[in-house]
Amino acid sequence: MAWTAARWHTFFFVVLSATSAAVPLVAAWGTKLVLDDLDTGGAGVRRVVLLGVALAVCALLSALVPQATQYVRDEIGRRASLVAQDRLFRATERFVGLARFENPEFLDRIRLAQQHGGITPALLVSATLGVVRATLTGAGFLVSLLTINVWTALAVVVATAPSLFAELGLSRRRAAMLWRIGPAERRELFFGELLLNVQAAKELRLFGATAHLRRLVGGQRRAVNAERSRTDRRELVAQVLTAVPAALATGAGLLWVLVSAAGGKGGIGDVSLFVAAVAGVQGAATGMIAELVAGHQQMLLFGHYLAVVGAPPDLTVPPAPRAPAPLRRGVEFRDVWFRYSPGHDWALRGLDLTITCGRALAVVGRNGAGKSTLVKLLCRMYDPERGAVLWDGVDIRELDPAGLRARIGAVFQDYMQYDMTAAENIGLGDLDAMGDRARIEDAARRAGAHPSVAALPRGYDTLLSRIFWEQGEDGAGDSGVHLSGGQWQRLALARAYLRGERDLLILDEPSSGLDAEAEHEIHRGLREHRRGRTSLLISHRLGAVRDADEVVVLNGGRVAERGTHDGLMARGGLYAHLFGLQAEGYRPERLPEPR
Ligand SMILES: Nc1ncnc2c1ncn2[C@@H]1O[C@H](COP(=O)(O)OP(=O)(O)OP(=O)(O)O)[C@@H](O)[C@H]1O
């Protein structure tokens, strides 16, 4: 990834690493030679000056190389994280359905993948080169030590080994700990965001629940901190225990060299080289261990990134899916059984239902009857566990999901309010029309959104968000506006209208937030729009569904009744009961006397 993202930078990183490996070694030998020359007094001035210049160059390089290395590594990190992020989001785009986004374990994995996927390439390159650099420097100093005394060299190596193995074990534990604390960190993030969320602020303040949430955030943080502290303490103990033998070996070696020098065996240059070499070997070993551990841990965490990027599709799509043909006969649910997971109850239990081409079908029913689930299956956000959804007789699992969705226009019950401009909020319905202001305005007009959008401070370019802050043309800060619930709903409808002539229009509670006048107006427009087209309307306002060609009543995930409004009323079943309850509130005797 690093090579793909930043070829030249990676190359320079290798060069800089080799340089920084050589510099301490050259400096130590240069110092020894200069000291020996000065001590014996036999060398010429020219040689001493040359060695001095070499030492000065070393000093210059050791001042500059770390800065340059840091810059190059950061640049690799920046470029590689762009590539990693793009690959990650491409991978999540491959998830055709919603199941993965409702799986907490997978969400934890995505979070870790997001956190580590971007930085891992640069850190791994850095760690790998760090290990190579430390090995080169360490080997150089080790050879230098060997020239002085074999046993000291061996003792230093043996004393350093335990720390390497201990650190690798600790690194595995640390990665496991990061995975373990994932759920608590996500909960902390969620509660923390709720505390700052403008939508939640109203309720939380009214109910006086902010302190409760603050305590929840604190509780999660304390749990996370406790886990981290436990790991840190374990690391501290292991590091102290493994550092002791290394320090003892160094001390013993130094004592031996000093005693030898005092006894006339070896000069001041040897002492200087010994001190530099021991520091060099141990520094290299510590550096190597740190880099190995960092690399090891990154690789373990990178496993989450690879798991997300390499995750198989959540819904099976054939290798060469068929493009759905324009709808001619209709969409049929044939004995569809569906539950959100094996741990959940059935949401649909043997549903049989047909949306006939060119006809308006209305689906009504109590809360939780399965109406929105039906819509999600129709758009292939999930697959049925048993039975099938057929598009003109073809199982939608054989069709290209994107092609299927391109044939559908929809307003979902839980439609989105995007923190973007009004034009973008509508334009997302059909990206081809994003830059086409005439089409966007037309869709807004049909949804009854135009007057309120046109009256906004910057019309269609007004930011519908109080989250972002933008600098206006006059230099003043502009933090956007808030729309009312009904205005947002009209924008969602405009988004659906922008999609224009689709084979199937799905409207899941399209007018629940509208005032009576607007609702009447919208439904009049919808009636016109739906005439002669295939549509599915879900609504609790039974007055809005009475002119549908067919009304289906769902109850407990299956069809309880079906027929026209008049037929169902005559039957006196669930529909008639629900309609009667609603109508009760509108009986003339309940209306105030006109003055
Ligand atoms: N994402 C989900 N995960 C688990 N269960 C779900 C999920 N969505 C819905 N359910 C469950 O499936 C059942 C059907 O829900 P659905 O949203 O389809 O009902 P509905 O008829 O649209 O209700 P309403 O009139 O309240 O909108 C309910 O019992 C609900 O709790």
User: What residue segments make up the domains of the chain, in order of their start?
Assistant: 2-166+242-309, 330-590
Whole-angstrom distance, CA of residue 403 vs CA of residue 378: 13
pLDDT value for 351: 95
Q: Answer yes or no: is the C-beta of 253 below 6 A from any ligand 1 atom.
A: no
Give the Cβ contact number of residue 219 at 10 Å: 14
Task: Look at ligand 1, atom 16, and give the residue with the nearest C-alpha.
Answer: 370
- Rounded to the nearest integer, the mean pLDDT of the chain is 85
Report helix, strand or coil for 415: coil
Band (pLDDT 50/70/90 cuts) for residue 479 is low
Which is higher by pLDDT, 53 or 252?
A: 53
**Per-residue pLDDT averaged across 165-174, rounded?**
81
553 pocket-lining for ligand 1 (C-beta < 6 Å): no
Tokens of 78: 């920046």
Pocket test for ligand 1, best of 338, 371, 541 (most atoms within 8 A of CB): 371
Structure letter (DSSP) for residue 317: -
Which candidate, 536, 349, 407, places its Cα nearest to that of 396? 407
CB-ligand 1 contact for 346 (6 Å cutoff): no
Atom of ligand 1 nearest to the CA of 557: 14
SS3 content of the chain, % helix, strand, coil (to 5): 65, 10, 25
Q: Ligand 1 test: best mutation among 101, 372, 508, 574, most atoms within 8 Å of CB?
A: 372
Return d(Cα 222, Cα 228) in angstroms, integer. Answer: 10
What's the distance, CA 287 to chain centroid? 32
The confidence score (pLDDT) of residue 405 equals: 93
Instruction: List the single range of 23-37, 309-323, 403-417 with lowest mean pLDDT.
Output: 23-37
Contact call for residues 480 and 470 (beta carbons, < 8 A): yes
**Which residue pairs from 130-134 have beta carbons closer than 8 angstroms and sit at least 24 positions apart in sequence?**
130/17, 130/287, 130/288, 130/290, 130/291, 130/294, 130/295, 131/288, 131/291, 131/292, 131/295, 132/17, 132/21, 133/17, 133/18, 133/20, 133/21, 133/287, 134/21, 134/284, 134/285, 134/287, 134/288, 134/291
Ligand 1 neighbour 46 (Cβ under 6 A): no
Residue 421 CB partners (closer than 8 Å, separation 6+)? 458, 460, 461, 462, 463, 464
Closest protein CA for atom 17 of ligand 1: 372
Judge whether 267 and 36 are in contact, CB under 8 Å. Answer: yes
How far is the centre of ligand 1, averaged over its atoms, from the C-alpha of 170 (Å)?
Answer: 45
pLDDT of residue 157: 74
Q: How far apart, in Å, do the first and last CA atoms of the chain sit?
A: 77
Q: Which CATH superfamily is domain 2-166+242-309 in?
A: ABC transporter type 1, transmembrane domain (1.20.1560.10)
pLDDT band for position 469 (50/70/90)? low
What does the radius of gyration of the chain's CA atoms come to, in whole angstroms? 36
Q: How many CB atoms lie within 10 A of CB 362?
A: 22
pLDDT value at 230 more than 90: yes
Q: 284: Cβ below 6 Å to ligand 1?
A: no
Q: Are 535 and 360 in contact (CB under 8 A)?
A: yes
pLDDT of 83 higher than 80: yes
Is the ipTM value over 0.95, yes or no? yes
**CATH classification code of 330-590:** 3.40.50.300
Over residues 431-452, the pLDDT tens digits come to 998 989 999 999 999 888 999 9
Q: Left (φ > 0), alpha (ψ -120 to 50) or beta: where does 469 sit?
A: beta
If we measure between CA atoms, which residue out of 496, 486, 409 comes closest to residue 449? 486
Portion of the chain with pLDDT greater than 70, in percent: 95
Report the separation in Å between the CA atom of 347 and the middle of ligand 1, taken as the mean of its atom positions. 7
Q: Which helix (H) or strand (E) holds 537?
A: strand 535-538
| CB-ligand 1 contact for 368 (6 Å cutoff) | yes
567 C-alpha to ligand 1 centroid (Å):
28
Task: For residue 492, report the phi and psi dihedrals to the nearest 5 degrees.
Answer: -65, -40
- Which atom of ligand 1 is nearest the CA belonging to 413? 27
Sequence-distant (6+) residues with CB within 8 A of 171 are: 293, 296, 297, 300
Q: How confident is the model at residue 263, as a pLDDT? A: 78
* 335 dihedral zone (left: phi>0; alpha: psi -120 to 50; beta): left
